[in-house]
Amino acid sequence: MSQTASLPIGARFDDDSPPALRVRGYWSSVGYRLRHDPATLFFGLIVLLIVLAAIFAPLLAPFDPYKEGVVLRLKPFGYRGHPLGTDELGRDLLSRLIYGGRSSLLMGLVPVCIATALGGTLGVIGGFAGRRVNAAIMRTMDVFYAFPSVLLAVAISGAMGGGMANGMAALALVFTPAMCRVAETATAQVRSLDFIEAARATGAGMFTIVRYHVLGNVLGPVFIYASSLVSVSILLASGLSFLGLGVKPPTPDWGLMLSTLRQSIYVAPLSCALPGAAIFVTSICFNLVSDGIRSAMDVRL
């Protein structure tokens, strides 16, 4: 087999035909799929409306959610301009529902954000560091994983004395182990791939490799899992409020309202069901949106 040291000038390679269509990159194909998924878009719209309603509550609520009225207690729908009636202290129910979205959404979203940041970081460190660090982190997480989440959330926020901040901290602590596991698994998978070795061969330090090569590949699974946690977080958070461990009265909050209106269940049963309906609708919409996000993002390249 004898060939010259170089091909003639202008030589082309056999496999050089440029593809006819420019195929999309990963993120733009995710966007494409989402835009063409009517169900997810629909529920995403509802989520957006709920969030906007909570943000713009002062503009939307017809009455002051804190204003009590002894004579106005537990009035039915439509009474004197109260579209959904009043609660057991005479406050307008619709206004309290709209304002209640604020604390419920906050207590749903903030713990997930904290857990993603904390658990994600720990997971990436655990996935990338040596065996001992990995074992230390993962076994510690296992201990917290050994509690049922409701129990752990109640125990921690109960021990801390309740209140919104403590509740959020407790929930963040409940979600961190799971997020850590997801991040660690994703990182461990990426770590064994060839391009990481190539990056090391280039002389890059660990932080540089993590930042440029690992994070991009880990962010996907982490984000998918975080979006699925939001609906669980909303449920748990309002559960804590229901038990009196979340927001303190008189702040409007769906779980708390459910608990206080329960006393009047024989008198005004429908009013009692409303806050729970709000929790349910919010939670299920977040759930369906996160399912849609997962379908859009979970593609083999």
Partner 1 sequence: MLGYIARRILFAIPIAFGVSVVCFSLVYLSPGDPLQTILPSDATAEMVEQIKHAYGLDRPLPVQFLLWLGHVLTGDFGMSIATRRPVILEVTGALSNTFMLTSFAVPLAFTIGYTMGAIAGCFPGRAVDRVVTGAAVVGVSLPNYWLGIVLVIVFAVELMVLPATGMGPKGSAQFSIFRWSDVQYLVLPVVTLSMIPVGIISRTTRAAVAEVLNQDFVTTLRAKGLGEIAVIRHVLKNSAPQVMAVMGLQFGYLMGGSILVETVFTWPGSGFMLSKAIINRDIPVLQGTILFLAMIFVATNLVVDLLQSVIDPRIRRA
Partner 2 sequence: MSTALDTPLRPLSRAAGEGRGGGADPRDVGGPAQPLLIARDLAKHFHVRGGSKSARVRAVDGVSFTLFKGETLGIVGESGCGKSTLARLLLHLVERDGGELIFDGEPVGAPRGITVAALRRHVQMVFQDSYSSLNPRMPVQDSVAFGPFVHGRRKPDARRVAREMLVKVGLNPDLFGQRYPHELSGGQKQRVNIARALAIEPRMVILDEAVSALDKSVEAQVLNLLRALKAQFNLTYLFISHDLNVVRYISDRVLVMYLGRVVELGPSEEIFTRPLHPYTRALLGSRPSMDPAHRIEEPPITGDPPSAIDPPTGCRFHTRCPFAEDVCAAKSPELGAWLERGSHVAACHMLDAGSGHSAAPA
Residues near partner 1, by CB under 8 A: 139-140, 142-144, 146-151, 154-156, 158-162, 231, 235, 238-239, 242-245, 258, 262, 265-266, 269, 272-273, 276-277, 279-280, 283-284, 287-288, 291
Residue 11 binds partner 2 (CB under 8 A): yes
Instruction: Give the residue from 191, 171, 197 showing the smallest Cα distance to 125.
Output: 191
Paired strand residues for 92? 86
Alpha-carbon gap, residue 281 to 259, rounded angstroms:
18
Residue 130 engages partner 2 in binding (rule: CB under 8 A)? no
Q: Which does 64 bind (CB under 5 to 8 A by kind): partner 2, partner 1, none?
A: none
Look at the block and give the residue holding tokens 């719209």: 45
Listed ranges 56-64, 156-164, 168-176, 191-199: which one lies at the site for partner 2 (CB under 8 A) = 191-199
Shortest spacing between CB 46 and partner 1, in angstroms = 13
Q: Rounded to 10 degrees, what is the CA torsion of 169, 174, 177, 181?
A: -120
Residue listed under structure tokens 């061969």 = 201
Q: Does 200 bind partner 2 (CB under 8 A)?
A: yes
Q: Do 236 and 153 form a contact (C-beta atoms < 8 A)?
A: yes
Q: Which residues pair with 79 in a beta bridge?
A: 82
Q: CA-CA distances (angstroms) from residue 106 to 74, 111, 301?
A: 28, 8, 36
The residue from 35, 58, 79, 208 that contacts partner 2 (CB under 8 A) is: 208
- Closest CB to partner 1 among residues 98, 285: 285
Which residues lie near partner 2 (CB under 8 A)?
1, 3, 5-16, 18-19, 23, 25-26, 193-195, 197-204, 208, 212-213, 216-217, 301
